[in-house]
Amino acid sequence: MRYSLGIAFVSDEELGSTYGIQHLLKQGGVFRKGDIIIVPDAGSESGLQIEVAEKSILWLKFTVKGKQWHASMPDNAVNALREASKLITELDRVLHEKFSASNTLFQPPVSTFEPTKHEKNVDNINTIPGTEVFYFDCRVLPVYDLDFVLDTVHDVVKEFEARSKARVTYEVIQKEQAPAADAGEQRGRQAPEGGDQEEAGR
């Protein structure tokens, strides 16, 4: 049996593929129904591991506004670094508790919510920062709708502001909802019981 083989080199994969594979799909005529597509994104030393599903991705940028002051007079300040640290801890706890489903089709088998990048605040050791900017990289099991994750983030931020003198804004840097990993999977706020799969993947 003979097959036609095509290779597509595309860009923008780390930023949502808007100018890469999504652009090709919009052009039409590049792919046909019944095509078998292999994406060499990751694997194993033996080459036998095949990824069959991916998690949804959500990148968030948070800005915490306090009040900058000299470190010798903290009563006059609202320490944005301290408040941002509290918010990071609260986001980490709530998101992992609420979106705790497990599916062994993925590695790791759970949703992950990681604080990552942190932007520079002040130049001096003796200055209490008035602004803190940090980012979260969220990799969410497809059973959860990312809009519900954002609803939870919104609730955490509002509850935090109610007890803090700092103000918080956040924005979505990237949001890509992954298709359902299992046939008949219903996406929503809560994961169904018994969602584990036998086949290992990412």
Q: What is the pLDDT of residues 7-20, one digit of tens each?
A: 888 877 666 677 78
DSSP assignment, residue 94?
A: H
Question: What burial letters (b/e) apply to 6-27, b meaning 16+ CB within 10 Å?
Answer: eeeeeeeeeebbeebbeeeeee
Task: Look up the CATH number of the domain holding residue 75.
Answer: 3.30.70.360
Question: What burial letters (b/e) apply to 167-196, b meaning 16+ CB within 10 Å?
Answer: ebebeeeebeebeebeeebebeeebeeebe
Residue located via tokens 């609730």? 155
3-class DSSP state of 40: coil
Hey, which residues does 59 pair with through a beta bridge?
Answer: 137, 174
To which H or E segment does residue 135 belong? Answer: strand 131-140
> Does 100 fall in a domain?
yes
**Going by C-beta distance under 8 Å and a sequence separation of 6 or more, which residues neighbour residue 180?**
142, 143, 187
- Whether residues 80 and 11 fall in one domain: no
- Whether residues 72 and 20 fall in one domain: no
- Whether residues 15 and 67 fall in one domain: no
**Within 13 A of 142's CA, how many CA atoms are on the CB side?**
20
pLDDT value at residue 162: 98
- Whether residues 96 and 155 fall in one domain: yes
pLDDT value at residue 164: 98
> Does 168 fall in a domain?
yes
pLDDT value at residue 26: 84
CA–CA separation, 153 vs 23, rounded Å?
31
> Does 49 fall in a domain?
no
> Does 32 fall in a domain?
yes
- What are all long-range contacts of 44-47, with beta carbons under 8 Å and residues at least 24 apart? none
- Whether residues 129 and 100 fall in one domain: yes
Given a cut of 50, the residues of the chain with pLDDT beneath it are 192-202
- Whether residues 169 and 140 fall in one domain: yes
pLDDT value at residue 15: 66
- Whether residues 73 and 127 fall in one domain: yes
> Does 192 fall in a domain?
no
Six-digit token pair at 196?
């584990």
pLDDT value at residue 58: 97
- Domain assignment of residue 76, given as a range: 56-176
- Whether residues 85 and 129 fall in one domain: yes
pLDDT value at residue 196: 37
> Does 186 fall in a domain?
no
Look at the chain and report how many structural domains it folds into: 2
> Does 120 fall in a domain?
yes
- Whether residues 32 and 80 fall in one domain: no
pLDDT value at residue 191: 52
- Whether residues 60 and 123 fall in one domain: yes
> Does 82 fall in a domain?
yes
pLDDT value at residue 193: 45
- Whether residues 85 and 144 fall in one domain: yes
- Whether residues 7 and 94 fall in one domain: no
pLDDT value at residue 30: 81
